[in-house]
Homo-oligomer: A and B are copies of this chain.
Amino acid sequence: MKFHLLKTDPSGARAGVIETDHGEVSTPVFMPVGTYGAVKTVSPAELAAAGTQIVLSNTYHLFLRPGPETIQRLGGLHRFMAWDGPILTDSGGFQVMSLSDLSKVDDDGVTFRSHLDGSEHRMTPELAVRIQEQLGSDIAMCLDELVSPLSGKDAARKAVDRSLRWALRCFRSRKNASMALFGIVQGGIYADLRVHCARNLVEMEFDGYAVGGLALGETSGQTWEAVQASAAVLPPRKPRYLMGMGTPEDLLEGIARGMDMFDCVIPTRNARNGTLFTSEGRLSIKTAAMRQDEGPPDPACGCYTCSNFSRAYLRHLFVTGEMLGFRLNTIHNLSYYHQLVSRARKAVLEGVFDSFREEFRQRWSRGVEGPEGHPDA
């Protein structure tokens, strides 16, 4: 993997290109979440048509079903899911600690029970890297220890120290040099811990760096302070990935702080809940007001959904529980996200990112439903 930083805007926002064995990725980039090796409701062809450049998939879920050995035997995750673009996998750490029953962390790793059948499993830094190699990931993440940003500084410090030891073990256990490996900056809401963590990771010379453990209950001010403190220490010539945060506002705030990569379930999950992101703000497709609305979901969008179907039809599909509706909503939301990030990139390249962000804020706050927090984070 190579990263080319093309331009840094006066605001700090960046535009670049990531080169992988499965193609190039223009940054900033939004990565749809394909938990089980499928971005919910959409096909690989639809992802490509919506502008998806790189997909994220979840190691924890694929570890449990169908298992990394099965995927490896079937030719790797790209072939399994028929996606020939780049794939980033998380380490599974976040899901082990948030989804599984009874996870127990020790210095060597994590013991946990599957949320599906209660079976006991063990995850270590070495295994997390090995699984991601079996999957054939283009960009892998280190296993880290996650603690709530609200659990106090002592807990945050201990988790950082353990995560740094694990990061080194991940780094050393990697066998496939063509798989990029990213370190993850932890440290909760404490700027000094973030700086400490980031500096130590940078010394290990990872291929890129992620900022993790945020938008988990802390205030928005604390979130962005922690991002800023982390980013300030990261080397400009390496890509930076803000994990799991992804309202449209989050993307622009993150880009403004020099972040390059984003993932979130919000566009896909909200689509299935009947909320669309449009050039005019959030739009609830379920409401009675949509019943006779023959306009497209977003008049400014040219995606398959907006080119062919009315708000009234999408409402009808939602009300009758037709799966096609979940999909058409997803296609639009992903298209919206990719268009938003692509416009942000253009603004960076033209050196006008600040005014782009300001214009977005104003348009968005006039929107159909107006801005809100992290409804699905």
Contact = CB atoms under 8 A, between A and B. Distances in A.
A294 B65 contact: no
* Candidate in A65, A80, A294, A313 with the most chain B CB atoms within 10 angstroms: A313
Contact of A82 (B73, B74, B308, B325): B308
Given A74-B292, A82-B308, A310-B74, A319 B38 contact: no
B324 A292 contact: no
Contacts of A44: 308
B38 A322 contact: yes
**How many subunits of this chain does the assembly comprise?**
2
Nearest to A80: B313
Interface in A291-322: 291-292, 294, 304, 308-310, 312-313, 316-317, 319-320, 322
Given A82-B309, A308-B44, A319-B65, A324 B38 contact: yes
Given A37-B316, A323-B327, A324-B42, A310 B80 contact: yes
A166 interface: no
A335 B343 CA distance: 39
Contacts of A322: 36, 38, 40
A312 B45 contact: no
A70 B311 CA distance: 13
A103 interface: no
A292 B73 contact: yes
A23 interface: no
Interface string A36-75: 1110111111000000000000000100011000100111
A326 interface: yes
A229 to B, nearest CB: 38
Contacts of A40: 322-324
A81 interface: yes
5 contacts: A41-B324, A43-B304, A65-B319, A73-B292, A323-B326
